[in-house]
């Protein structure tokens, strides 16, 4: 299993397809809803095993010092293997290399314990996704003197 940015058009297509299948389709959200207008300027990573993408995640900057993680996923049959942790760590390393001081995200209720284990703290309520999925704001300071 390797964690790295997607490198071909085919890999990007598979990455977006799986994002949609895991994070949008179960709530009947249409294809296209798995993307926002920050894809081009964001940093993406995939977890790839035997040429199959089994996880992914993205980070973008809200300001020079604040980065935000979105669209974290690991396919159900591969969850619990430490892959989410490795994806998040790769996104954090990138943010640190770009001099981010804090990383923010909106976590679904089910993923809060995962982010807490990686050092994130709940900082407030966030609007429900699709009007259904409870969400909380979380953040982690990564600033090193
Ligand atoms: C959330 C998600 C990305 C985590 O990925 P994962 O590969 O299963 O997580 P890992 O195996 O890397 O887990 C890392 C640690 O978090 C813990 N953890 C992961 N999910 C957890 C959960 N739901 N509850 C409690 N602990 C959890 C693991 O036990 C592990 O602990 P350890 O480091 O002490 O061994 C994955 O479960 C997922 O894709 N879920 C569905 C989509 C989703 O909700 N995405 C997040 C959108 S905000």
> pLDDT band at 18, cuts 50/70/90?
very high
Any atom of ligand 1 within 6 Å of the Cβ of 114 = yes
- What number is the average pLDDT over the span 29-50? 97
Domains of the chain, by residue range, sit at 2-141
Superfamily the domain 2-141 falls into: Gcn5-related N-acetyltransferase (GNAT) (3.40.630.30)
Ligand 1 mutation pick, 114, 122, 134, max ligand atoms within 8 A of CB: 114
Phi, psi dihedrals of residue 71, rounded to the nearest 5°: 60, 40
Any atom of ligand 1 within 6 Å of the Cβ of 25 = no
At residue 11, does pLDDT exceed 70? yes
> pLDDT band at 45, cuts 50/70/90?
very high
pLDDT at 80: 97
pLDDT tens sequence across 51-77: 999 999 999 999 999 999 999 999 999
Any atom of ligand 1 within 6 Å of the Cβ of 76 = no
Of all protein residues, the one whose alpha carbon is nearest to atom 43 of ligand 1 is 73
User: Which residues on neighbouring strands pair with residue 56, listed in sequence order?
Assistant: 46, 73
At residue 81, does pLDDT exceed 70? yes
Give the DSSP letter of residue 27. G
- What number is the average pLDDT over the span 93-99? 96
User: Which residues on neighbouring strands pair with residue 84, listed in sequence order?
Assistant: none
- Residue 84 C-alpha to ligand 1 middle, in angstroms? 6
pLDDT at 127: 84
Give the SS3 label for residue 142: coil
Both tokens of residue 77?
Answer: 């049959």
> pLDDT band at 130, cuts 50/70/90?
confident
Of all protein residues, the one whose alpha carbon is nearest to atom 46 of ligand 1 is 72
At residue 34, does pLDDT exceed 90? yes
pLDDT at 144: 73
Of all protein residues, the one whose alpha carbon is nearest to atom 20 of ligand 1 is 114
- Residue 80 C-alpha to ligand 1 middle, in angstroms? 6
- In percent, how much of the chain has pLDDT > 70? 99
């Amino acid at each position: 299993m390797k964690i790295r940015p997607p490198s071909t058009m085919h890999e990007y297509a598979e990455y977006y397809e799986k994002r949609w299948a895991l994070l949008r389709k179960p709530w009947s959200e249409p294809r296209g809803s798995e993307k926002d207008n920050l894809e081009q300027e964001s940093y993406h990573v995939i977890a790839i095993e035997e040429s199959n993408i089994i996880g992914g995640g993205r980070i973008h900057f809200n300001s020079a010092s604040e980065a935000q993680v979105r669209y974290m996923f690991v396919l159900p049959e591969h969850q619990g293997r430490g892959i989410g942790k490795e994806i998040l760590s790769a996104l954090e390393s990138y943010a640190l290399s770009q001099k981010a001081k804090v990383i923010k995200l909106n976590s679904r209720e089910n993923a809060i314990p995962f982010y807490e284990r990686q050092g994130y703290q709940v900082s407030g309520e966030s609007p429900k996704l699709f009007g259904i999925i409870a969400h909380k704001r979380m953040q982690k300071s990564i600033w090193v003197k």
